[in-house]
Amino acid sequence: MAFVKDPDWWRGAVIYQIYPRSFQDANGDGVGDLLGIVHRLPYIAALGADAVWISPFFTSPMKDFGYDVADYRDVDPMFGTLADFDQVIATAHHYGLKVMIDLVLSHTSDLHPWFRESRSSRDNPKADWYVWADPKPDGTVPNNWLSQFGGTSWQWDARREQYYLHNFLTSQPDLNFHCAEVQEALLDVARFWLDRGVDGFRLDTINYYMHDKGLRDNPPLAPELRNVKTAPAVNPYNHQRHIYDKNHPDNVEFLKRLRGVMMPFNAAAVGEVGDSQRGLEILGEYTRGDDRMQMSYAFEFLSGEALTAATVAEVFAEVERVANDGWVCWAFSNHDVVRHITRWNLSPAAARIYATLLLMMRGSVCLYQGEELGLPEAELAYEDLQDPYGREFWPEYKGRDGCRTPMPWDGSAVNAGFSSAKPWLPVPSSHYHLAVTEAEHDPAALLHHYRRALSFRRGHRALRAGHMGDVHVEGDVIRFRRWTDTEEILCFFNLSEEPAHVTVPDGNWVTIAGELGSTRPAPDFQLNLGPWQPSILLNDRAHPRAG
């Protein structure tokens, strides 16, 4: 297949997230690797995805499984070599897939050479590359900022007799984006990977790049506002309004510089905006116009809140209000949250309609490895946990390992075909019967529905890049319209176990997407929807409706 670099390839793209430790082990050490990804790229292409997002594979001590980078320009031996990564690029492009890599720019590992030098003294060339602050007169931390992983976000360093900032683990010191040299170094990192052939980036914690220079205390957050989209409920992080430790207005200026670096390569980026109060607003700010990031990741459908017709409509209304000029990248699952099959307790029928809904919405889409198989969250024993987040808050919060267990490829093979050795996390017994080999031979398997839904989306420009509006909720049914200058599609979704009866607006509507369970309206414009059933209608302007 010829590989074409369309500058707008990202708009409406379906991006398949690969968590490399758990995708496919090619060398038999129990950990997934880059050559394992190469082996499975045909599967992703056959699914119908447009791109892959590969979570971090850089050199790292792996205290946060690659999100603590010790060398931005090399592959951790656990995952392979730079030559292996080149093979990922070549193979993905052969199959028509773009490659996005996870750039972690807000912080590094404390083993990164930059930090080693920075902490060595107060007057070395990299002394200001990280966020350092003197203690208060009584020796306590500079302010009240809290870490996502619990407790203060300041760590004492005896070498400099100062505290350094860490929004995550103490071993993940935050870079100082107010230092011009830091920005230049990170832009050079982006150039390195773009020159190597990547098509874009997923930008981890994009709104954490800059902090308030005055180190002002964050104000408290009222208990009734403490929703838990970005941190578990047991984490005191939820007790603050995070207005000084992140979301700095100068973030936008750095994003513009990064966009300038990406532009000659027709590369695209999706930023992860982690903020429970202002997430969509910041998303709109970061993706507005044509000189910032193309997309940002939305957390609205990653929380534990049930996904009802009303809540979906509320999110759409908020996007329209604060991010109408931006571009959302939607997801139901990822490597940081409980898999949505478990989170929402979905039946097979509900899983199908939610997948259809996801692929009909305006924006781009991220699919997390295994969601197309309907994998539930894995229940792991404490002794099997690897995630420091889970170990810290167990048992009230069990961490992220339950969504990171190995991908099941072969239901009859040892470790479900992931590895010939003991995997770094166990393969749950409940996943074997959902393996790819089992799904391929089961016509009712969710995998086939995802393939059909991705193919349907790709075949309609109105769904990939068109407008969206006329959102209407009636009971458990949500309706919305997607359109371009040449195509108009009307979507109904009954998000309920009960039948529903609604009226179709006037129009020359023709039923499409029968392969996705779409039902036909009656001649009197009445639409009878079964439990968990959609109806997808096309406005057939060429043949006016009689009557």
**How open is the CA angle 236-67-104, to the nearest 5 degrees?**
100
CB count, 10 Å around CB of 372?
27
Catalytic, 272? Answer: yes
Q: How far apart are CA 276 and CA 26, in angstroms?
A: 39
Catalytic annotation, pick one of 25, 102, 110, 204: 204
Catalytic annotation, pick one of 25, 64, 272, 300: 272
Sign of CA dihedral 103, 106, 110, 111: positive
What are the phi and psi torsion angles at 116 (to 5°)? -55, -45
In 3-state terms the chain splits into helix, strand, coil percentages (rounded to 5) of 30, 20, 50
Q: How far apart are CA 163 and CA 385, in angstroms?
A: 30
Q: How far apart are CA 271 and CA 251, in angstroms?
A: 12
Q: How far apart are CA 359 and CA 14, in angstroms?
A: 8
* Local structure of 423: helix, strand or coil: coil
Catalytic, 396? Answer: no
Of the candidates 21, 47, 50, 17, the residue with the CA atom closest to the CA atom of residue 34? 21
| Residue-by-residue DSSP string for 130-156 | B-EEPPPTTS--SS--B-TTSSBSEEE
Burial label, 310 (beta-carbon count in 10 A; 0-12, 13-18, 19+): middle
**How open is the CA angle 240-241-245, to the nearest 5 degrees?**
95
Tokens of 189: 């990192």
Q: How far apart are CA 354 and CA 167, in angstroms?
A: 34
* Local structure of 545: helix, strand or coil: coil
**What is the rounded end-to-end Cα distance, in angstroms, of the chain?**
48
* Local structure of 439: helix, strand or coil: helix
Of the candidates 296, 254, 304, the residue with the CA atom closest to the CA atom of residue 279? 296
Specify which residues 157 forms β-bridges with. Answer: 162
Q: How far apart are CA 533 and CA 22, in angstroms?
A: 33
| DSSP structural state of residue 240 | B
What are the phi and psi torsion angles at 343 (to 5°)? -60, -40
Sign of CA dihedral 527, 535, 466, 316: positive
| Residue-by-residue DSSP string for 18-87 | E-GGGT--SSSSSS--HHHHHHHHHHHHHHT-SEEEE---EE---TTTTSS-SEEEEE-TTT--HHHHHH
Q: How far apart are CA 323 and CA 118, in angstroms?
A: 39
Q: Which residues are catalytic?
A: 204, 272
